Amino acid sequence: MSYLSDRLAAYHITDKENTFKAENDEGRVISTWRFFTETDKGDIQINYLCPNGTVAWYNHGNVQTRDFCRVRYADPEKHGGHKYFQEKGTEMTPFNTPEVIEAYRKKKELKTLYVVEGEFKAFTLSMNGVPTIGIGGIYNFKDTTKSKMHPDIIDVIQKLKVQNVVLIFDRDCLEIKWEEGKDLSKRLNNFYVALNVFNELLKPYDVQLYFSHVSSKCRQKGIDDVLLEKTNDAMTVLNELQSFTSGMPNRFYIDTYQVTGMSSYRLKQIFGLANVQNFYDLFQKELQNHDFVYNGITYYIDENGKPVRSWQGAEKHYIRVGTEYYKTIVEKAPNGQTELNLVQWSADTIKNDYSNPKEFIRQIPKFDAFTNIPENDPNLYRQTVYSEKDGYRSVLYNRYCPVSHEPKAGEWRTIDMLLHHIFDYPTLKGQTCYNMALDYLQMIYLHPTQHLPILCLVSREQATGKTTFLNLLRAIFKENMRILDSERISSKFNGSWAGKLIIGVDESFIDTDKPTVVNRLKMIATNSSIPIEKKGKEAGEVPNFAKLIMCSNDETNFLKIEIEDTRYWIIRVKGIDPDKRDPHMAERMEAEIPAFLWYLKHRTMFYAERTRLWFDSDDYATEALKKIQERTGNVLWQNLCTVIRQQFEFQLKPQIRLDVKTIQDLLELNKCKSVESRKIHYILEDHNYKTQGVREFYFRRGFDPGLEDKGKGRVYEFDYTDFFTPAEWQELNAKQPEQ
């Protein structure tokens, strides 16, 4: 017997059932076709007909001349394991069975249309009175564009007024076979996607979609196997298949689900694809206690019988940015405070540390570059940022850390007590700094990119709350704040704090002999970007929105602040009364953070925007600032004032003239050496003095008239009123000896 004869016999397909007679409108037979014929090589040729019973054609070149067919190989091994063949360049066509063709020709309405993978399955159902269309693969229901349902299927649905469509899969559509390293979700996902796409393509048409498959209770694989082997129970099988609308509690052969109206999540649950727990619950028997791969990730079963990623989430500790790998490290300071830090890590080290390293590295999140976008609202914060321009798209890793606090209305008495204690300090205008402190904190929270004054808390006393205030901000803003000492803020290596929201410097003392450090503080306060330098790395640049907060026990000399510098907000903090100290203050304040943030989110700003640092410098000028400026203000200007006053005292003239070279010489006489001429020019011009052109002038090196010298050069002219009060000038003239 031939392969064709064997298959027809196995399916109980007689020659009469295999034969289709095409008739004209008068009922006269005009042609005869067989659905299954034998090729000259002994394979089975499956012939396709259109819904109206005519031969299905396909284009051969520019002419539509060939009948469409597929070949089922008798020996797939001879053809590289392929079971089917169809002419190259042809598109898949639905296989219309006699039951469908007959209904179409007679314009008979079909309440339900069945679609199944495989021509013999479809033919078997048709022989049992079930109107079925066969498809050559689980995705082969689409048209040539792959975006719409095949027109033959739509033609049948519309002309025969189909109400229900049932897509039938084999029993193994919901089965897995464990293999080490094999992704067990892929095959299931293929069936899910096919069903989901089928559902989407049917939505434009007024039909209900159902999904049926051979039940796992049944040992047969396909619907054809069930009907052929359960001939004595065929009526029960067909009844289960066709009774999907009302449901049958004691089903054995067929399971059916209504897909129309079903959520995507529920549809995924059917295939075990909703999540890994859903997958494990569905296939626990097959998985036993093996490690398994689901959706590209390896899991093991823990002692509680739960699937757990085999690396226990270790891959989340790593990221790849560009071509470099980084690991998140939990660092612990001597005071017990912990913070997260991103440290560069080598790929070789990662490979050595984990089993299945190739898969582990594949799971590490990958980014094109770093970015730094501050956002303190946990609902708006994004760790992964997408950037697009001119058709290019980049995935960026946001170095700004999430702030997890959810604002919630409530009391924040402990925080308020600390703020009043620190900021009930008067400004030179006579107002306290409390409202400005609330504005300052509100700006940091809601508008983190706004530059603000450098806040300095100073006090000789102990137990003032300065460090407690820094720790409160650290508790609010988490890893977005760094608390440093003077040495670290003075170091050129700033990789640990550059780009942070708040930089706290505790126990501050900035060496006034290092102007670069003072300039760095000014740069942090006002520049939109700052250089970043790490050991062993090339210097770069990062966005800067840092708020600088300095705490010091030195009230007058911890930092050099020039008279004209308006960046600093200095507050002298008094000590906390011993009977008011609370050892649990930090814990109480941390519990109040959500309520405090809710207040900041809803309050109205007290001060309007006035400068690039938001506040007008007059509003935060304090006596503490004035003392530091008087003590540490511009030393060169102070020395200039000294030598100019001396010339007035020596010469007793209301106006004097001096050039820069002479000023340099006079400064050197006063033990102020190596002052560059350009610096003298700059500071005089800063104080509104202008050169008067080349002039002759006189100057003295002492009170003795014999010490008078004559000079000539580009002079600056000085008036005594800028350096003496009227009383001082009068007293000076009265005391001078006659010359």
Determine the pLDDT at residue 738. 52
Question: To which residue do tokens 């080290």 refer?
Answer: 349
Determine the pLDDT at residue 320. 95
Q: Alpha helix (H) ranges present in 426-556?
A: 434-446, 466-477, 486-490, 515-526
Determine the pLDDT at residue 527. 84
Q: State the Cα–Cα distance between residues 73 and 84, nearest whole angstrom.
A: 6
3-state DSSP helix/strand/coil % of the chain, to nearest 5? 35, 25, 40
Q: State the Cα–Cα distance between residues 283 and 299, nearest whole angstrom.
A: 14
188: nearest Cα among 223, 152, 213, 222: 213
Q: Which regions in the chain score pLDDT beneath 50?
A: 246-247, 512-513, 739
Strand partners, 332: 338
CA distances from 651 to 556, 648, 707 (A): 36, 5, 11
Output the six-digit token pair for 431: 């107002």
Determine the pLDDT at residue 246. 46
- Specify burial of residue 285 (Cβ count, 10 A radius: 0-12, 13-18, 19+): exposed
pTM of the model: 0.50
CA distances from 722 to 116, 269, 562, 564, 728 (A): 102, 86, 19, 17, 12
Direct distance between the N- and C-terminal alpha carbons of the chain, in angstroms, rounded to an integer: 145
Which residues have CB under 8 Å from 278's CB, separation 6+?
268, 269, 272
209: nearest Cα among 306, 114, 274, 297: 114
Determine the pLDDT at residue 587. 92
The 3-class secondary structure across 123-142, one letter per residue, is HHHHHCCCCEEEECCCCCCE
Which residues have CB under 8 Å from 728's CB, separation 6+?
none
pLDDT tens sequence across 344-361: 999 999 888 876 788 788
Determine the pLDDT at residue 739. 46
Q: State the Cα–Cα distance between residues 659 and 84, nearest whole angstrom.
A: 102
- Specify burial of residue 14 (Cβ count, 10 A radius: 0-12, 13-18, 19+): exposed
Structural domain boundaries of the chain?
314-398, 413-630, 634-735
CA distances from 168 to 137, 209, 215, 254 (A): 12, 11, 11, 10
Torsion (CA) 247, 11, 222, 86 in degrees, nearest 10: -120
Counting runs of H as helices and runs of E as strands, what totals does the chain give? Answer: 24, 34
H or E element at residue 684: helix 677-686
Determine the pLDDT at residue 65. 63
H or E element at residue 158: helix 151-159
Q: Are strands 540-543 and 529-532 parallel, antiparallel or unpaired?
A: antiparallel
Q: State the Cα–Cα distance between residues 154 and 205, nearest whole angstrom.
A: 8
Q: State the Cα–Cα distance between residues 739 and 734, nearest whole angstrom.
A: 13
Q: State the Cα–Cα distance between residues 225 and 238, nearest whole angstrom.
A: 13
CA distances from 181 to 177, 186, 299, 545, 592 (A): 12, 12, 11, 48, 50
Which class is domain 413-630?
Answer: alpha beta
Question: C-alpha angle with apex 715: 713 to 721, nearest 5 degrees?
Answer: 155
